[in-house]
Structure 1
């Protein structure tokens, strides 16, 4: 008999960067230790390196983080001290995408949509290794002089998927491409900087002013006025605007950024992209999304639960022909409303529509 997935822990992190980090590390100590073990296995399988070798690579990024974002370096030190590990362990978690050159098999589907009343909906399925699911946490981060962040995060990692009380939200799609440059920001740090911004324009200015990111990734960033697909790479960025449906959709391959070498990897990514466009446009044309209270439910049921081209479907399924550590599945779905009058998100952990996911968790939850 299958049991429903339990809700992840909900953390309120406040104060100075060090205080935020200490609280994070103390509350998620066991999950951080488990994350290190999970990623050690992933590194060994994907890159033929162990955790100690990954930490050596992480030192280059630690220096970059300390130089470009000292407040997040201080927060990472706090996480390490709170969890009783070395700061390089925490930096390794935060730059795991860069250490592996994108060799982890992430597979995510994201979309933004401008509603008829002008506000933005931002949503995605996040697909990754099932072992990571037990280390997901909901985080509310309160910092002086910055927007309050509501984030679905991983233990030990400072930035992920979510939104803030200035109505700025982020989604992430992994891209596998070369090169990787350690003098630029890790993508999870870039996500946190976006979530510390008060607008899409400020997020873009911040990333550009700091020299960009060290690995190729796609961040879908929205505020209440605009959505922009940031096809980011160490060699330059391309920004995707909303289409005729008021949408930006993305999966795990670059659409317009041809500045880096991107070998073929997830054959299902183009198929998922066409599928998410077809399904989302269909529900928009049907008019069913005109009733605001139904938007999250409809998107989960009609778009993000879709199993077409399984296992590489929008709702990702484990491929049991692959080794256990390299399988991926949908770990959570989030639908955000970036509306100043009705700001919030609905999250289900697990595969939407499977019957095994958590009940809907509202963010903010207090």
Structure 2
């Protein structure tokens, strides 16, 4: 195993626009590269150019503003800082929904877990492998933020997007998986990445769950949420509101998820099972690795499990399939394990089988002592 270049780490603080501008200024090159990647992605899957995609994205602004009025100023700041347009940043953050609206899907794979109680030696451990186009690995950054009115947080995310996976200073952890049903039609609503950004504002797990419930969501997704107090909950969601949410609680301290529903969502067809038939295997394999571990599960052992190649190429640790078109190839771009009580993470910014998980204590812990308590 060889180490790679450490992740690009970005620090920002202040109000929504101020913070967004700082992020955009520090990631301008990566944001422009993100736009190029998604222009190519949409051209391949839909035949539409980036100008068309920006036009489609405008329909989501009213739902975004109604859900969280801080989001649009943050996007505008990010755009101004990066020297791109607001419409560019909006399109990046609605990419999933616009793709579904055009009846196409650029599939990503992710395998996530949560472990708590005696199984984790009294700790609360969450994490996942994030699988997507290999090109996006070069645009991804470790974003550490201290908002003026909310808990400080850290998230590993593609430049130009608001948030992805990580945790905040209040001890709330956020992991996520793409899901899709026949009801995912791109109807204007709250985008997936906007919900993710809102989750990092939560001071408690209950607040995080409520953030999912309050959203009139445009797309299906799975949210694996936890807090430092020991509670973990997994929310499978379809497009819509509270009537399309299914809760999964840990069994024997373990919950795992991939890219298909564990329980069929009434009135829908789970297209994830058709497009990603390896999803049940990945979920079951990770669950077995954790459950079969003698004694307590440690962060180091979880890092090992995320390197697993059983069922390759549809394995927990994913590698590009050379038989596919380059735009359709998937790889594990990052692997993350979080100890919520310690506010500490182990991050491999690349395939975990060839990239070392390095322990990282986010800067907000030292720059803003007790940030979670103050906010």
> Which of these residues, 142, 148, 158, is aligned with residue 146 of structure 2?
142
Instruction: Report what 2:373 is aligned to.
Output: none
Aligned length: 351
SS for the counterpart of 1:100 is helix
Find out whether 1:255 has 2:241 as its counterpart. no
For 1:108 and 1:229, the matched residues in 2 are separated by 14
Shift of 1:144: 2.1
Q: Secondary structure at the match of 2:213?
A: helix
Deviates more, 1:172-181 or 1:138-147: 172-181
The verdict on how the C-alpha distance between 1:36 and 1:197 changes in structure 2, with shifts beyond 3 A counting, is same
Please, which of 255, 258, 267 is the counterpart of residue 277 of structure 2? 267
CA distance in 2: counterparts of 1:315 and 1:190, whole angstroms: 26
State the Cα distance separating 1:185 from its structure 2 match.
1.0
Q: Distance in 2 between matches of 1:313 and 1:273?
A: 10
Question: Cα offset for 1:288?
Answer: 5.1
Whole-angstrom CA distance in 2 between matches of 1:274 and 1:322: 26
In the TM superposition, 1:280-299 aligns within 5 A as 280-283=290-293, 286-287=294-295, 289=297, 295-299=298-302
Equivalent residue runs for 1:172-183 within 5 Å: 172-177=176-181, 178-183=183-188
Q: CA deviation at 1:100?
A: 1.1
CA contact (8 A) 1:231 1:257 kept: no
State how far apart, in whole Å, the 1-side matches of 2:52 and 2:202 are.
34
Q: Report deviation, 1:45.
A: 1.5
Give the deviation of 1:181 after TM superposition: 4.8
> CA separation in 2, counterparts of 1:57 and 1:361?
40
Root mean square deviation of aligned Cα? 1.7
Offset of 1:296 from its aligned partner? 1.9
- Corresponding residue for 2:68? 69
Q: Are 1:195 and 2:200 an aligned pair? A: yes
8 Å Cα contact 1:31-1:135 kept in structure 2: yes
Equivalent residue runs for 1:43-122 within 5 Å? 43-101=42-100, 103-116=105-118, 117-122=121-126
Tell me if structure 2 keeps the 8 A contact 1:80–1:90: yes
**1:237 matched residue in structure 2:** 245
SS in 2 for 1:220: strand
Contact 1:160 1:192 survives alignment (8 Å): yes
* Alpha-carbon distance between aligned partners in 2 of 1:157 and 1:79, rounded to the nearest angstrom: 9
Q: Distance in 1 between matches of 2:162 and 2:361?
A: 18
Contact 1:123/1:336 (<8 A) preserved: yes
Equivalent residues of 1:216, 1:233 under 8 A apart? yes
Contact 1:62/1:88 (<8 A) preserved: no
1:292 matched residue in structure 2: none
**CA offset digits 1:23-57 (Å, max 9, x no partner):** 11111111000000001111112222221111111
Report if aligned partners of 1:268, 1:312 keep a CA contact under 8 Å in 2: yes
Q: Residues 130 and 61 (structure 1 numbering): CA distance in 2 closer, same or farther, change over 3 Å? A: same
Residue aligning to 1:360:
358
Residues 64-98 of structure 1: per-residue CA shift (max 9 Å, x gap): 21232221110000011111111110011111111
Please give the alpha-carbon distance, in whole angstroms, between the structure 2 residues aligned to 1:165 and 1:257. Answer: 34
Partner SS, residue 262 of structure 1: coil
1:204 and 2:209 aligned: yes
Is residue 238–residue 265 contact of structure 2 (8 Å, CA) maintained in 1?
Answer: no
Which ranges of structure 1 fall in alignment gaps of 5 or more residues? 290-294
- Asked if 2 retains the 8 angstrom alpha-carbon contact of 1:230 and 1:240, the reply is yes
Q: Does 1:37 align with 2:36?
A: yes
Q: Deviations over 1:274-325 (max 9, x none)?
A: 1111111111xx1153xxxxx2221111x11110111110001111110111
Distance 1:182 1:159, change over 3 A: farther
**Which whole-Å CA distance do the structure 2 matches of 1:75 and 1:277 have between them?**
37
Partner SS for 2:59: helix
- 53-62 vs 177-186, which moves further: 177-186
Distance 1:181 1:134 in 2: 28
Unaligned runs of 5+ in 2: 367-375
Contact 1:348 1:361 in 2 (8 A): no
Q: Which residue does 1:320 correspond to in 2?
A: 322
SS at match of 2:70: helix
TM-score, with length taken from structure 2: 0.89
Q: How far 1:238 moved relative to its partner?
A: 0.7
